[in-house]
Structure 1
């Protein structure tokens, strides 16, 4: 997948409407993304390559240390060569947004809902995926104009949480992160997740055929 730039950032003059609908294009209907936490540059690149070869186009690398930022820089550069999209995760401050930009990230992901981080990301030309875990957070994010949301920690919330949230908030598009693997990804997708983020599953040869089967299934509308 070749990403041709951020769309839907909602810039209007000096003001800004929060809008992360550009994730529609970024994910392109895929059902999985990869999240590679604390692996270092060499291993992150190797696992990213596994993901890309499998058909997972979107990769997230959380940035919490200098080594993480360097890994993001390496993987983002490799991703650009292959037309793949790489983002920065665990972005919890405006400073993190600046680090993500300098490392070549295309989007930011946060564990919680921080509209200052969303604004900083948009101002930098990056899409922003905030985390939610309650109905109040989902409602606040949607009111701000954000439709793509990270359900975290997904394994604690459970698939029933997605079913419950999709009732009052049918416009929300959830990416489930935290404790996801080939064995439970299908359950979360069936419950209403649009995308499931997997990590260590990509290093388990036994799970790769299951992940490939999930990728081959029809995407959610």
Structure 2
């Protein structure tokens, strides 16, 4: 089981890429501080892709599924041995309980204070504020003032230049896709450039240590 305290600070989001492109990114992540990847369920062949990536890189990279919306999808993802699931929306208590029973970390999406509070009450491990960049980093502090500090992930418009601002505001985690990598380099499986982009991101990131 992946304990929340051990959950990587940054999760790389890969949406709409084929297996070769996803593999190139994950291979480039090995040995870096980017230790978590989310493969979205609205990518073609997502489950087969997840299964292959887990088989090859699961010992080095935390592999999860994103854009998970239904219990049926959850069951497919768990069968593919994901360590976590994310959703752009709130998840039902049934889904949260099912994941907990199978030791899978849950990261449902939320926008309002009510949704955030309800998700934690229903058993979410981490709540994803989405779309975070539209709300701004001060939104994190505004939420924490009445509700207290919670394990929050920011997703949506997060990149090399603003991620540290959100983490300094109190977010525990960030999910980033196009904010790290050049899309064409992913499509072309250009591992040399992908590694350079990871190095640049790591140099800009405030790791809080």
State how 1:75-154 maps to structure 2 within 5 Å: 75-80=53-58, 82-114=59-91, 115-154=93-132
Superposition pairs for residues 47-58 of structure 1, below 5 Å? 47-58=25-36
Instruction: Establish whether residue 25 from structure 1 lines up as the match of residue 6 from structure 2.
Output: yes
RMSD of equivalent CA atoms = 2.1
- Give SS of 1:180's match: coil
Q: Is the 8 A contact 2:29 2:198 kept in 1?
A: no
Unmatched 5+ stretches in structure 2: 183-192
Tell me what 1:212 maps to.
202
Whether 1:61 and 2:39 are equivalent positions in the alignment is yes
CA separation of 1:145 and 1:76: change in aligned 2, threshold 3 A: same
| Residues in 2 aligned to 1:194 and 1:60: alpha-carbon distance in whole angstroms | 17
Of 146, 150, 167, which aligns to 1:189? 167
Q: Secondary structure at the match of 2:141?
A: helix
Which residue of structure 1 lines up, in the alignment, with residue 178 of structure 2?
Answer: 200
The CA distance in 2 between the partners of 1:142 and 1:207, in whole Å, is: 34
User: What secondary structure does 1:176 align onto?
Assistant: strand
Aligned to 1:15: none
Tell me the number of residue pairs that the alignment of Structure 1 and Structure 2 aligns: 196
Where has structure 1 moved over 6 Å in runs of 4 or more?
Answer: none
TM-score by length of 1: 0.79
**Could you say if the C-alpha distance between residues 90 and 175 of structure 1 is closer, same or farther in structure 2, counting changes exceeding 3 Å?**
same
Change (3 A) 1:186 1:26: closer
How far the C-alpha of 1:53 sits from its partner, in A, is: 3.5
